[in-house]
């Protein structure tokens, strides 16, 4: 599988970061975004705004004199710049200019030529821009972190025959908890007693409550309906599905998308280059053309403010976090911004059949006997061997045998044949159960058997062939055929249409089942191409071929059996992750329910996210270019530059946060 890093505890929450941290775009980092989260800093900005506003009014009205106005301006700069100076100092010591240093240099330059209020406004409005970015980041993250609040902190646990309330952290696996009607379920578990409809929207995004009865699984953070439930705890508080989702989303938010990495690298070189250009603008005209020192110092300061890439750098991370938060609220877990960008570029999608296009709950539809063997004899042999397997078809055979009242031993010398079937000894005789392909490999598929198998497969059903295993001088023979049918998911056809509408050019079904069955299922739901008789290694080969032809390819499976193919694809997408820990851990994208339609929804939102990022970057760069020209010809001021920079930041933030409306 693709590398899966352990959740990073350090600096996952903004509140864990150094409140005095600042931007260091020269190193491609975007730290200290939480200025606005600190109450002291928020108050400092208010004080600074009051002082700068008072100084501006005093200057316009001719009050207090130059010294009084300068004093108000200095007070405003100190109030909003105390967290700016340490970062600027560090950038200067390392000779790596960043936004903080640019703003400080511009403010100092404006002060030198007597533009005290403009200098103070630069520092104040930069602080406001920082506050906006911090607020945007927290707003995007809050959509996911709000999940923490939905799980109750107290559980009613049965101890010594009585239910007592204890913190959820103290509840152990296998203990019984009671959940009253209308209450949230505190921990993952299995229903022991009671029936109720449970609202699973916080975990799976399902809009309709799901009926739960004894034996069904439930998840922490979901809401019990009108019934009362007793639940056996299966996971402690730190290991619940909800807790794992929150950890993985936070980890994903720390991973940078390709676009974000590009912006960081761009800013690393962009900032020092602009600083050098500003220095040349300040020095060359006065030295070479007898220009006015004050005038060119002012223009250099304006250029430095124009150079601040606030809007550019914030354009990607806020969009990525907002997009992932919107999907998490809908039951789609994306493991990082890189994967959100990749899924937006999907051209082809490979899907497994069982459990993806079909319900994954096959049932035996009929039994054909050969060589005068009884139906009970066939079921007895098949169930004895399949009792060793967890494969859906094997489970269907065992369940059907039990339902028919057939008693069977457990086969000895069991050996699974990947993608084909299995072999074993039952009461001293060697038998096999397997698919159509296996009968050919064993050399037991006669023309009559071929005709019978084709008749079953033409109905879209799978075959389980039961027979004597070739051994020594025994050529082997087919004793019976089980027809096993799986129900196509009700929304499968609609989901495939939605995928095509979302821009996926080719949907291919990869199945270990026979080609006739695969073709029949594909035709029912509108899949472009079906490939049957595939072993796990064949699926990997098929995905590689799709990547060579289409570039960006997704693979949808259950996150376990299809792991090699999912790892080979550009994006591995797991179905039904709410019930599978392995799916959450291994897939790049996990659908918490078995709703194939959410893939098209994820692709659309991924493309919308990418579109917003591209607009934000283009807008930010275009604005910088415009004001650079205005500065060089003398038509831009410090006021206009800082207002434009703050306005651009506000617009980029607002544009990015529109993605959160997708979670409503």
DSSP letters for 599-610: HHHHHHHHHHHH
User: What is the 3-class SS of 126-138, one letter each residue?
Assistant: HHHHHHHHHHHHH
User: What is the 3-class SS of 445-498, one letter each residue?
Assistant: CCHHHHHHHHHHHCCCCEEEEEEECCECCECCEEEEEEEEECCECCCHHHHHHH
Buried b (16+ CB within 10 A) or exposed e, 322-355: bbbbbbbbbbbbbbbbbbbbbbbebbbbbbbbbb
Question: Which sign does the torsion angle of CA 93, 98, 102, 104 carry?
Answer: negative
- Joined together, the tokens standing for residue 265 give 């690298």
Residue 593: exposure state from Cβ atoms within 10 A (0-12, 13-18, ≥19): buried
Q: How far apart are CA 117 and CA 110, in angstroms?
A: 9
352 classed as catalytic: yes
**Of the listed 98, 188, 352, 562, which one is catalytic?**
352
Q: Which helix (H) or strand (E) holds 266?
A: helix 258-289
> Do residues 469 and 423 touch, judged by C-beta distance below 8 A?
yes
Q: How far is CA 378 from CA 470, 475, 478, 594, 623, in A?
A: 17, 19, 10, 34, 77
Residue reference for tokens 């505890």 = 9
Q: How far apart are CA 531 and CA 586, in angstroms?
A: 24
Q: How far apart are CA 577 and CA 287, in angstroms?
A: 68
- Three-class DSSP category at 360: coil
Q: Which residues are catalytic?
A: 352
């Amino acid at each position: 599988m693709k590398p899966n890093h352990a959740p990073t505890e350090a600096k996952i929450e903004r509140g864990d970061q150094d409140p005095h941290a600042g931007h260091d775009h020269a190193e491609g980092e975007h730290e200290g975004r939480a200025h606005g989260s600190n109450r002291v800093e928020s108050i400092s900005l208010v004080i600074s705004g009051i002082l700068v506003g008072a100084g501006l009014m005093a200057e316009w009205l001719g009050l207090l004199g130059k010294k009084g106005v300068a004093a108000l301006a200095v007070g405003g700069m100190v109030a909003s710049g105390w967290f700016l100076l340490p970062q600027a100092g560090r950038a200067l010591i390392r000779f790596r200019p960043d936004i903080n240093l640019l703003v400080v240099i511009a403010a100092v330059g404006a002060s030198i030529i007597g533009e005290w209020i403009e200098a103070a406004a630069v520092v104040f409005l930069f602080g406001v821009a920082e506050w906006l970015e911090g607020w945007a980041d927290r707003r995007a993250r809050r959509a996911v972190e709000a999940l923490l609040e939905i799980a109750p902190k107290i559980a009613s646990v049965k101890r010594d025959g009585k239910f007592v309330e204890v913190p959820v952290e103290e509840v152990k696996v296998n203990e019984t908890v009671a959940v009253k009607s209308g209450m949230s379920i505190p921990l993952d578990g299995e229903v022991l007693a009671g029936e109720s409809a449970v609202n699973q929207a916080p975990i799976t995004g399902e809009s309709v409550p799901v009926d739960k009865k004894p034996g069904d699984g439930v998840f922490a953070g979901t809401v019990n309906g009108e019934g009362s439930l007793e639940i056996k705890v299966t996971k402690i508080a730190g290991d619940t599905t909800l807790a794992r989702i929150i950890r993985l989303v936070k980890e994903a938010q720390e991973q940078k998308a390709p676009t974000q990495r590009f912006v960081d690298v761009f800013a690393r070189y962009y900032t020092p280059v602009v600083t050098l250009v500003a220095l040349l603008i300040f020095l060359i005209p006065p030295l070479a053309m007898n220009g006015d020192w004050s005038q060119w110092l002012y223009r250099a300061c304006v250029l430095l403010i124009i150079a601040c890439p606030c809007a550019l750098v914030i354009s990607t991370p806020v969009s990525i976090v907002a997009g992932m938060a919107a999907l998490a609220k809908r039951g789609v877990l994306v493991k990082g911004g890189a994967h959100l960008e990749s899924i937006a570029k999907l051209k082809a999608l490979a899907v497994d059949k069982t459990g993806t296009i079909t319900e994954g709950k096959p049932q035996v539809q009929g039994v054909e006997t050969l060589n005068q063997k009884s139906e009970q004899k066939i079921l007895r042999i098949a169930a004895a061997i399949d009792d060793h397997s967890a494969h859906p078809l094997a489970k269907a055979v065992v369940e059907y045998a039990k339902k028919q009242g057939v008693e069977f031993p457990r086969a000895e010398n069991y050996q699974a044949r990947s993608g084909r079937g299995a072999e074993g000894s039952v009461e001293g005789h060697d038998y096999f159960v397997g698919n159509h392909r296996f009968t050919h490999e064993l050399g037991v598929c006669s023309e009559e058997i071929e005709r019978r198998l084709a008749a079953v497969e033409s109905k879209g059903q799978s075959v389980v062939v039961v027979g004597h295993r070739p051994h020594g001088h025994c050529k082997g023979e087919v004793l019976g055929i089980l027809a096993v049918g799986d129900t196509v998911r009700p929304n499968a056809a609609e989901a495939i249409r939605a995928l095509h509408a979302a821009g996926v050019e080719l949907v291919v079904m990869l199945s270990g089942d026979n080609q006739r069955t695969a073709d029949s299922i594909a035709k029912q739901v509108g899949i472009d191409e079906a490939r049957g008789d595939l072993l796990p290694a064949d699926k990997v080969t098929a995905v590689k071929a799709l990547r060579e032809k289409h570039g960006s390819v997704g693979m949808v499976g259950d996150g376990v059996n299809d792991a090699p193919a999912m790892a080979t694809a550009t994006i591995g997408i797991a179905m039904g992750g709410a019930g599978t820990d392995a799916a959450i851990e291994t897939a790049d994208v996990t659908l918490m329910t078995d709703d194939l339609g959410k893939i098209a929804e994820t692709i659309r939102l991924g493309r919308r996210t990418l579109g917003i990022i591209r607009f934000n970057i283009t807008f930010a760069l275009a604005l910088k270019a415009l004001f650079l020209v205005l500065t060089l010809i003398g038509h831009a001021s410090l006021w206009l530059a800082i207002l434009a920079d703050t306005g651009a930041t506000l617009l980029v933030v607002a544009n990015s946060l529109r993605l959160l409306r997708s979670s409503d």
